[in-house]
Amino acid sequence: MNHATGAGYPAVRPVDFERAKVVVPPKALLSLFHESVEPSFRQITILEQQNMCLAKARDVLLPRLMSGEISV
């Protein structure tokens, strides 16, 4: 926002990106971060897969339940 220009629609220009400094953490810190978050990302993947399976089961079973073909 500090480098955005324009009255009606503030925008960042390519030259602003060229001047921007990027801070890169040390490899040891990146490694610690990866060790901390990797199990969470693995769990997210597993839960997404389970969610897709459950949605498929719901889509198959719900019409049968609503029609009375199966009962609870």
Which sequence spans correspond to the domains of the chain?
24-67
pLDDT of 41 higher than 70: yes
How high does pLDDT run on average in the chain?
A: 89
Any residues with CB less than 8 A from the CB of 43 and at least 6 apart, and which?
none
pLDDT of residue 2: 60
**Global model pTM greater than 0.75:** no
* Residue 25, token pair as written in the block: 């953490």
* Residue 16, token pair as written in the block: 């602003």
